[in-house]
Chains A and B, each alone.
Chain A
Amino acid sequence: MAKTEPGPHNFVFGNYAPAPESKNHFKIKKSYDLFIGGKWVKAPKQFETSNPATGEVIAKVGEAGKKEVGQAVKAARKAFEGEWGQLSGAERGKYLFRIARLIQERSRELAVVESMDGGKPIRESRDVDIPLVAAHFFYHAGWADKLNYAFPGVKPKPLGVVGQVIPWNFPLLMAAWKIAPALACGNTVVLKPAETTPLTALKLAEIFEDAGLPPGTVNIVTGAGETGQALIEHPDVDKVAFTGSTAVGKAIRRAIAGTDKKFTLELGGKAANIVFEDAPINEAVEGIVSGIFFNQGHVCCAGSRLFVQESIADKVIKKLKKRMETLIVGDPLDKNTDIGAINSAEQLERIKALVKAGEKEGACIWQPEGRLPRKGNWFKPTLFTECAQSHRIVQEEIFGPVLAIQTFRTPQEALEKANNTPYGLSGGVWTDKGSKIFKMTTGLKAGVVWANTFNKFDPTSPFGGYKESGIGREGGVHGLAAYLNF
């Protein structure tokens, strides 16, 4: 029988029998070295990477120091001046096509490893992350011999050695976003994956080996912040590409101040998702849910601020609560799971601290009832009503499954509130009226605006922020500019 009021819900089992994805069809090694110059190189130290859903150690990986980073940059320089740099665009493209195919072929393995190492639901890694990874290589493969058409009037040239530092929320997808355009444009790469999610990037290195990619074209150095810093500050790195927090992005900007290094930064966000009274409400509720609970809210463009027109606020919030009660939080490898594990204990603490601040500052918290798994890092889908612009949960990026709801009366008020943030990565608008859509999408100060949809991604579609959400674009023809000299 359908319930009309929110009630208890068991997150772990839901109403479904467990349907876990098997993990017996591939191998994860006990220990991974660094991938430098086409070879696996031992690091002086190693660190453990674990499954955030269980706390179990999955593998040990190398921790690259300054010396290993230096070796990787040297290998990349050699490849840039050597075999890779001398290839024609068409030949570069063929390598990228080949890599795309190998990714598609091993996509089930990559999806499972991604969910094990990072905690995201298998449905997302299987249906979103990994297909997009392959698509990014396919898309950019085709650009490699057409760059002169992308930028009329100038003859673009590659930059050289690119140092790339990526986050833990979309580990392999971010690697693809960074590596595919860099290679298509003729650069060579040193990539540092995130400390908590290094495994799929190392699997990608295996794919590069299998693809016969010339040694040194892509080098993968695992490690923590210090490894990334060594890479960014290395004098022979021509360009730095970073995705991560705004605070670290600013530190990188300072670290390379005064140098000739080029850079792109994809940083934090606090997207406004704006729902008007003439919106298709059921679709909007789905959009709100996917906007904030996709990937546990570990999404820089997450729709973490919901603005609902006053006249429909009660109705929308009621429907939203009902929908949230059906969300299954649990085993990332279970095909029924909607919300997986929080990526790390550290991130869980950060989410808890901000949620606490939200309560303390006077916002009203609501979470569906239910039990969470005992082991591992978990957080219930959460919403706050009665939020003020000044609340920390409205101002700061939480990077977790926490939604802050505010209301508005007029489109102008919605725009002013939405733009009242130092961030400007993304935004959402829900209305059936075309002219209102364009009033809002042109008024929002954000790099990506979803109208009557949310959290959609595609390699052909440029992504990147206004203001403190970053500098530069990734994807599409605009993303190529980040890897070329005019």
Chain B
Amino acid sequence: MTIKKTYKLFIGGKFPRTESGRVLDVRGKDGELLANASWASRKDFREAVVAARKASGGWGKASAYLKGQILYRIAEMLEGRRAQFVVELVAHGISEERAEKDVSEAIDLLVHYGGWSDKYQALFSSANPVASSHFNFSVPEPTGVVGIIAPRRGSLPELVSALAPVIVGGNSAIVLAGENALTAITFAEVLSTSDVPAGVVNILTGKRAELIPEFAKHMDVNAVLLCSNDKDEKKLLDLESAENLKRVSHQKDAPLKESPYHILDFQEVKTTWHPIGV
């Protein structure tokens, strides 16, 4: 008899069960029970925000070199567990060929964004030739705690294409996984063995209708990336995020195309002035 895995949440580097005691029954293509995934509650979300805030200072200040190496390390660990992901995706009804492709794409995305870690700053910074006798420059800084409503459909490329630009930019993240909850939690196992500091990435599985308002309302979330084709979800997020003027990036319910501008979406530009003289 095979031993089945218990799928829990990923908060602050640990794998807790949902405090709510609720589960989502996840079934395979033939209707067999794959797992009782955690159905995260509002309180789980708030715990995740606390963990993300705690991690954001250190991660934001970590050197670009280190962040790049850690993203590359995630790619290495994902490669090492390729077979496991393929099996899991196939159980979800995805063809083996497609599953292989999905894993490869996710690995490539991590390598791609890992390489941006020490480059986007140069691309998005400026030395500004002000008319007065001052040295003046503008540099991007991480926005802080970013909520990610991952694409509803799909598997690894969807999740990783949304997450990688956020964390390589020095932000910490709380991810609401898409419908393929199991893959997201297995990906958390990859993260937890990849030198990603605890709390930098937190992954919840649950219901969008229940948790999107919490992402939108929470006063200690600085930005939200919403991957959705649903106009009502966008409107709700826009409305509720007005209270602390969250930065909202709205993307389609699909993998995000590789682009450094996705990193810039979760950066604040700071301009510093200093007089030149003696």
Stretch of A53-61, A302-310, A461-469 that contacts chain B? A461-469
The answer for the CA separation of A448 and B273 in the assembled complex, in Å, is: 8
Given contacts A441-B272, A449-B273, contact A476 B128 (CB under 8 A): yes
Choose from B138, B235, B274 the contact partner of A451 (Cβ within 8 Å). B274
- Asked if residues B272 and A449 are in contact (CB atoms below 8 Å), the reply is yes
* Complex: chain B residue closest to A457, CB-CB: B130
Interface segment out of the listed A184-192, A204-212, A253-261, A345-353? A253-261
B84 on interface, CB distance cutoff 8 Å: no
User: Which of the listed residues A250, A257, A471 has the most CB atoms from chain B within 10 Å of its own CB?
Assistant: A257
Instruction: Tell whether B104 is near chain A: CB-to-CB under 8 Å.
Output: no
Name B's interface SS. mixed
* Contact between chains at A456 and B245 (CB < 8 Å): no
**CB distance A464 to B269 under 8 Å?**
yes
Q: Which of chain B's residues have a CB closer than 8 A to the CB of A254?
A: 238-239, 242
Which residues of A450-486 are within 8 A (CB) of B?
Answer: 450-453, 456, 458, 460-464, 466-468, 470-471, 473, 476-478, 486
Residues in A neighbouring B269, C-beta threshold 8 A: 447, 462, 464, 473, 478
8 Å CB contact of A466 from B123, B232, B234, B268: B268
The A/B interface has a contact count, at CB < 8 Å, of 108
Known A-B contacts A451-B272, A477-B126; the reply to A461 vs B138 at CB < 8 A is: yes
How far, in angstroms, from A451 to B235 measured CA to CA in the complex?
40
A257 touching B235 in the complex, CB below 8 Å, given contacts A249-B245, A450-B273: yes
Given contacts A154-B261, A250-B243, A447-B269, contact A453 B238 (CB under 8 A): no
Residues of A within 8 Å of B126, CB to CB, are 462, 476-478
* A8 in contact (CB, < 8 A): no
Contact: B245 with A253, CB < 8 Å? yes
User: For window 103-142 of chain B, which residues contact chain A by CB distance below 8 Å?
Assistant: 123-124, 126, 128-132, 134, 136, 138, 141
CB of B132 within 8 A of CB of A458, answer yes
Contacts of B234 in A (CB 8 A): 258
Does B247 sit within 8 A of A, measured CB to CB? Answer: yes
A110-144 CB contact bits vs B (8 Å, 1 = yes)? Answer: 00000000000000000000000001000000000
**Cα A407 to Cα B260 with chains together (Å):** 42
Are A458 and B270 touching (Cβ within 8 A)? no
| Residue B193 CB within 8 A of the other chain | no
Does A214 sit at the interface, judged by CB under 8 A? no
B63: CB under 8 A from chain A?
Answer: no
Per-residue CB contact flags for chain B residues 26-67 toward chain A (1 = under 8 Å, else 0) read 000000000000000000000000000000000000000000
B231 at the interface (CB under 8 A from A): yes
> A446 at interface (Cβ–Cβ under 8 A)?
yes
Q: Kindly list chain A residues whose C-beta atoms are within 8 Å of the C-beta of B131.
A: 135, 458, 460
- Closest-by-CB residue of A relative to B273 is A450
Partner of A458 from the list B130, B239, B245 (CB cut-off 8 Å) is B130
The yes or no answer to B20 lying at the interface (CB within 8 A) is no
Q: Would you give the shortest CB distance from A64 to chain B, in whole angstroms?
A: 26
A250 to B242, CA, bound (A): 5
- Nearest A residue to B223 via CB reads A471
Expressed in whole angstroms, the Cα–Cα distance for A258 and B216 within the complex equals: 13
Once bound together, how far apart are the Cα atoms of A140 and B274, in whole Å?
Answer: 24
Q: Which B residues touch A473, using CB under 8 A? A: 269
| Distance A448 CA – B130 CA, assembled complex (angstroms) | 14
Q: Is B244 an interface residue (CB 8 A)?
A: yes
Q: Tell me if B6 is interfacial: C-beta within 8 Å of chain A.
A: no
Contact B238 A258 (CB under 8 A): yes
Smallest CB separation, B168 vs chain A (Å): 17
For B271, give its contact among A152, A462, A470 (CB under 8 Å).
Answer: A462
Instruction: Check B275 for interface membership: any CB of A closer than 8 A.
Output: yes
> What string of 1s and 0s marks CB contacts (under 8 Å) between A251-293 and chain B?
1011011100000010100000000000000000000000000
The closest CB in chain A to the CB of B234 belongs to A258
Q: Is A437 an interface residue (CB 8 A)?
A: yes
Interface centre among A152, A253, A267 (most CB of B within 10 A): A253
CA A462 – CA B231 in complex, angstroms? 32
Asked whether B231 lies within 8 Å of A258 as measured between CB atoms, the reply is: yes
Whole-angstrom CA separation of A107 from B133 in the bound complex: 23
Q: CA–CA, A467 to B247, complex, Å?
A: 9
Q: Which residues does chain A contribute within 8 Å of B235, judged by CB atoms? A: 257-258
> What residues on A are CB-neighbors of B244 within 8 Å?
422, 467-468
**A452 vs B271: C-alpha distance in the bound complex, in angstroms?**
14
User: Which of B124, B231, B234, B272: most chain A Cβ within 10 A?
Assistant: B272
Q: Are the C-beta atoms of A453 and B274 separated by less than 8 Å? A: yes
Shortest CB-to-CB span from A278 to chain B, Å, is 15
Contact, CB under 8 Å: B134 / A462 = no
Closest-CB distance, A104 to chain B (whole angstroms): 14
User: What is the minimal beta-carbon distance from A245 to any residue of chain B, in angstroms?
Assistant: 12
Contact B270 A446 (CB under 8 A): yes
Q: In whole angstroms, what is the CA distance A159 to B231 when docked?
A: 21
Chain B CB within 10 Å, residue with most, of A462, A464, A468: A462
- Shortest distance in angstroms between B256's beta carbon and chain A's nearest beta carbon? 13
Interface residues of B in 254-278 (CB under 8 A from A): 259-261, 268-275
Compute how far the CA of A267 lies from the CA of B129 in the bound complex, rounded to whole angstroms: 25
Which chain B residues lie closer than 8 Å to A467 at the CB level?
222, 244-245
CB distance from B273 to the nearest CB of A (A): 5
Which residues B132-160 have CB closer than 8 A to chain A? 132, 134, 136, 138, 141
By beta carbon, the residue of chain B nearest A422 is B244
Nearest-neighbour CB distance to chain B for A354, whole angstroms, equals 22
B274 in contact with A437 (CB, 8 Å): yes
Nearest opposing residue in chain B for A479, CB measure: B269
Measured in the bound complex, the distance between the Cα atoms of B143 and A471 in whole Å is 11
What are 19 residue pairs bridging A and B, where the CB atoms are less than 8 Å apart in the complex?
A254-B239, A257-B235, A257-B238, A441-B272, A447-B268, A448-B272, A449-B271, A451-B273, A451-B274, A456-B134, A456-B273, A458-B128, A458-B130, A458-B136, A462-B138, A467-B245, A468-B244, A476-B126, A476-B128
Instruction: State the A residues within 8 Å of B (CB).
Output: 135, 152-154, 246, 249-251, 253-254, 256-258, 265, 267, 422, 437, 441-442, 446-453, 456, 458, 460-464, 466-468, 470-471, 473, 476-478, 486
Known: A258-B239, A447-B269. 19 other contacts (CB 8 A): A253-B241, A256-B238, A257-B238, A257-B239, A437-B274, A441-B270, A447-B270, A451-B273, A453-B134, A453-B275, A458-B136, A461-B138, A462-B128, A463-B271, A464-B269, A466-B270, A467-B244, A468-B244, A476-B138
The 10 closest A-B pairs by CB, nearest first: A258-B235, A257-B238, A458-B130, A253-B242, A257-B239, A460-B128, A451-B274, A461-B128, A250-B242, A254-B242
